[in-house]
Amino acid sequence: MRNSSHPITNKQKLSFTFNGKKYFGYKGDTLASALIANNVKIVGRSFKYHRPRGIFSAGSEEPNALVELGDGPYKEPNTKATNIELFDGLKGSSQNFLGSVNFDLMAINDLLKNFIGAGFYYKTFMWPRRFWEKLYEPIIRRAAGLGKLSLKADPSHYDKGYLHCDFLIIGSGISGLMSALLLAETGSEVLIVEEDFILGGRLNSERLGINGKQSSIWIGQAVKKLKSLNNVRILNRTTVFAAFDHGIFAAIEKKTDHILEKSSKPRQINWKIYTKYCILASGAIERSIAFPQNDRPGIMLAGSVRTYANRFGAHYGQKIAIYTNNDDGWKTADDLKNMGLEIKAVIDTRKEIEAPSSSISSYLGQTITKTYGRKGIKAIKLSSGSKLNVDCLAVSGGWSSNIHLTCHKRGKPVWDNIYKNFLSVDNAQKDKIIPVGAARGIFEIQNIISDTNRVILSLIKKIGLSMPNRITLTSSKEQYSCSLDLVSSSNPSNSFIDLQNDVTQKDIELSFREGFKSVEHLKRYSTLGMATDQGKTSNILGLASMAKLKGTNISEVGTTIFRPPYVPVAISAFAGRSKGKDFRPTRLPPSHNVAFKRNAVFVETGNWLRAQWFPEEGETFWRQSVDREVLQTRNSVGICDVTTLGKIDIQGKDCLEFLNFVYTNAFAKLPINRVRYGLMLREDGVAYDDGTTARLGENHFIMTTTTANAALVFRNLEFVRQCLLPNLDVHLISTTDSWAQYSVAGPNSRRLLQKIVDKPKDITNANFPFMACRELTICGGVMARLFRISFSGELAYEIAVPTQYGNALFDALLSAGKEFKAVPYGTEALGVMRIEKGHAAGNEINGHTTAQNLGLSRMISKKADSIGNMLSEREGFNGSNIATMSGFQPVQRSEKLEAGSHLISAGKTPTMENDEGWLSSVAFSPTLGHYIGLGFIERGKTRIGEKVLAVNLLQNKTTEVEIVSPHFVDPEGIKQRG
d(C-alpha 602, C-alpha 841), whole Å: 20
* CB-nearer residue toward another protein: 21 or 563: 563
Complex with another protein: residue 38 or 705, whichever CB lies closer: 705
Whether 304 contacts 396, CB under 8 Å: no
List of E strands, 44-157: 44-45, 52-53, 66-69, 76-80, 90-93
Min separation Cβ 245 and another protein, Å: 4
| Spatial CA neighbour of 921 closest among 955, 897, 953 | 897
Cβ at position 134, least distance to another protein in Å: 41
Residue 48 backbone class (left: φ over 0; alpha: ψ -120 to 50; beta: rest): alpha
Residue closer to another protein, measured from CB, 426 or 514: 426
Between residues 870 and 944, which has the closer beta carbon with respect to another protein? Answer: 870
- 756 backbone dihedrals φ, ψ, rounded to 5°: -105, -40
User: In Å, how far from its chain's centre is CA 740?
Assistant: 36
Concatenated DSSP letters of 12-49: PEEEEEETTEEEEEETT-BHHHHHHHTT----EE-TTT
**What is the rounded CA–CA span in Å between residue 778 and residue 816?**
12
The CB density around residue 425, as the number of other CB atoms within 10 Å, is: 17
What are the residues facing 362 on neighbouring strands? 346
- Burial classification of residue 54, based on how many CB atoms lie within 10 Å of its CB (0-12 exposed, 13-18 middle, 19 or more buried): buried
| Residue 466 beta carbon to another protein: minimum distance, rounded to whole angstroms | 24
Closest to another protein by CB, 72 vs 726, is 726
Taking the C-alpha atoms of residue 483 and residue 486, their distance in angstroms, rounded to an integer, is 8
Q: Of 827, 197, 171, 167, which is closest to residue 465 (Cα–Cα)?
A: 167
**Minimum distance from CB of 725 to another protein (Å)?**
9
Residue with smaller CB distance to another protein, 736 or 921: 736
CB of 733 to another protein, least distance (A): 9
Residue 13 or 246 with smaller CB distance to another protein: 246
Query: How many other CB atoms are there within 10 angstroms of residue 863's CB atom?
Result: 8
Nearest to 685 by CA among 863, 920, 864, 852: 852
Please name which of 454, 536, 442 lies closest in space to residue 480, comparing C-alpha atoms.
442
Do 658 and 867 touch, CB atoms closer than 8 A?
Answer: no
DSSP string of 324-343?
ESBTHHHHHHHHHHHTT-EE
Binding site for another protein (CB under 8 A): 244-248, 274, 409, 430, 683-684, 711, 715, 718-719, 721-724, 726-727, 865, 869-871, 873-874
Contact (CB, 8 A) for 890 and 931: yes
CB of 411 to another protein, least distance (A): 11
Q: b/e per residue, 526-553, with b = 16+ CB within 10 A?
A: bbbbbbbbbbbbbbbbbbbbbbbbeeee
Q: Which of 541, 501, 543 is nearest to 521 (CA)?
A: 543
Minimum distance of another protein from residue 722's CB (angstroms): 4
The CB-of-436 to another protein minimum distance in angstroms stands at 24
Smallest distance from the beta carbon of 698 to another protein, in angstroms?
24
Give the integer Cα–Cα distance in Å for 238 and 49. Answer: 33
CB of 709 to another protein, least distance (A): 14
Element (H, E) at 835: helix 827-837
d(CA 61, CA 397): 14
Is the distance from CB of 532 to CB of 78 less than 8 angstroms? yes
Provide the b/e sequence for 92-105 (b: ≥16 CB within 10 Å): bbbbbbeeebeebe
What is the b/e burial string over 386-414, where b = at least 16 CB atoms within 10 angstroms of the residue's CB? Answer: eebebbbbbbbbbbbbbbbbbbbbebebe
User: Residue 392 contacts by C-beta under 8 Å, 6 or more apart in sequence?
Assistant: 298, 299, 300, 305, 315, 316, 317, 319, 320, 321, 377
Nearer to another protein by Cβ, of 342 and 683: the residue is 683
Q: How far is the CB of 726 from another protein (least distance, A)?
A: 4
**Rounded to 5 degrees, what angle do the CA atoms 384, 386, 389 make?**
145
Distance CA 394, CA 307 (A): 12
Give the residue with the Cβ less far from another protein, 251 or 626. Answer: 251
Contacts 24+ apart (CB under 8 A), 458-465: 459/277, 459/434, 460/182, 460/183, 460/186, 463/277, 465/186, 465/187, 465/188
Could you report how far apart the first and last alpha carbons of the chain are, in Å?
96
Task: Give the whole-angstrom CA distance, residue 936 versus residue 844.
Answer: 9
Closest CB to another protein among residues 514, 865 = 865
Task: Work out how close the CB of 242 gets to another protein at its nearest, in angstroms, rounded to a whole number.
Answer: 14
